[in-house]
Copies of this chain bind each other. A is one copy, B any other.
Amino acid sequence: MLTISLRGELMPASPIRKLVPYAEDAKKRGTKVYHLNIGQPDIETPPAILDAVRHADIKVLEYSHSAGNESYRKKLVEYYKRNGINVTKDEIIITAGGSEAIMFGFFTCLNPGDEVIIPEPFYANYNGFACAAGVKVVPITSSIETGFALPPIADFEKVITQKTRAIIICSPNNPTGYLYSREEMEALKEICINKKLYLFSDEAYREFCYDGEYISAMHLEGLEENVVLMDTISKRYSACGARLGAFVTKNKTVYEAAMKFAQARLSPPGLAQIMGEAAVDLPDNFFDAPKAEYLKRRNLLVNRLNKMPGVFCPNPGGAFYAMARLPIDDSDKFCQWMLESFSYNNETVMMAPATGFYGTAGLGLNEVRLAYVLNLDAINAAMDCLEKALLEYPGRVEQPELEKLAKS
């Protein structure tokens, strides 16, 4: 019989997308759905970068260099320099979104059977790339009580084996919004050097730090050989659909091996590279407006959440996500129930159950991720819905039980 591959079977389905049919049904019933479930901002893509494509003089849309257009890589050198990151154009490979950069990292640095440590909750798609690469994800649990701070280094040491090859971090974090401090970054540096591990640093949300200093893995002196920076323009310019990212490393062996994967797929998206290049020339104050907007949204969202009985939401230092603990039995059931059985003023909210962001089974049952990618009015209306829903939800679990759950 024709069968698919084992990795094809094991490959995790997107934990968020499985709720999509319920959202579609709700919309068919005429219910408005506030999408706080995915990191798709409503912020306008800068017209100037779309104009760059509109006005580009293209006769033949040719393959670019497999590492991306040299002119774009040179521009990115400027961009990184403004962020305190010193790299050359020959240390950058332009990729099809941050996704491809993550994939190149897995395939270049890890063998099938190798292990990667990731503080959980973490971006669910790391699981997918790990599965494709045959790599085992070893989660280390961070806790909502500390706002998802870096777990103690002793927790890392406990799980490091002969097979451990890398740690993945994302700061500011998706899904928690947590922003690692300099001390936490230094602690990561120590362990990566001592244990000879790669540090894969997903910095998709670099521009959106509200309550602390942005520290890149590339700011850490002495860690140059260990760091692979995985980047994307998706969030910083609200250009998720462009599919444009970057794989950046000062480790020449890693770079050269990754280039062979890049050559096999010929080149990164061509029109998007024109956008990316123009984006580096946006005025210095470009990020002020979206950042101020996200900050207002965060403050509103977190404030509203913490006023709801039985709800706890730590204040995220960056990105545009918040993780909240709710007085519920099961976040998957609750998020589905919100779409299937609940509405308030004919509106409801779609959120991401936190279970999909934990590698440890059973965690995240009473947590959800909310992306504050909608405007203030929409967030207010969504919070009105959530507040009512928590009172009506048949699976509501009151505080004492919740505390038990949280500690179990």
Contacts and interface: CB of A to CB of B under 8 A. Distances in A.
Interface of A: 1-2, 4-9, 11-14, 17, 38, 40-45, 50, 53-54, 58-64, 66, 96-97, 99-100, 103, 107-112, 114, 125, 128-129, 132, 134, 196-198, 225-226, 238-243, 251, 253-254, 257-258, 260-261, 263-272, 275
13 contacts: A2-B196, A4-B254, A5-B257, A8-B257, A17-B263, A44-B60, A45-B61, A61-B238, A62-B241, A100-B265, A128-B263, A270-B272, A271-B272
A242 B53 CA distance: 12
Given A12-B260, A241-B64, A260-B11, A271 B5 contact: no
A186 to B, nearest CB: 19
Contacts of A17: 66, 263
Given A2-B198, A8-B107, A196-B1, A238 B112 contact: no
A292 B269 CA distance: 29
B264 A99 contact: yes
Contacts of A64: 241
Contacts of A58: 45, 50
Contacts of A12: 260
Given A5-B110, A96-B100, 5 more contacts: A5-B107, A107-B132, A112-B112, A112-B134, A271-B275
Nearest to A268: B243
B269 A8 contact: no
Main secondary structure of the interface of A (DSSP, over half): loop
Contact of A11 (B9, B125, B129, B261): B261
Given A53-B271, A60-B238, A266 B97 contact: yes
Contact of A2 (B66, B114, B251): B251
Nearest to A38: B63
Contacts of A132: 107, 261, 264
A243 B270 contact: yes
A405 to B, nearest CB: 30
A5 B133 CA distance: 11
Contacts of A9: 257
Contact of A4 (B2, B7, B66, B109): B109
B271 A242 contact: yes
Nearest to A49: B61
Given A11-B264, A53-B54, A97-B266, A59 B40 contact: no
Contact of A108 (B8, B66, B275): B8
B8 A109 contact: yes
A350 to B, nearest CB: 15
A13 B260 contact: yes
B265 A7 contact: no
A63 B60 CA distance: 26
Contact of A264 (B128, B134, B258, B267): B128
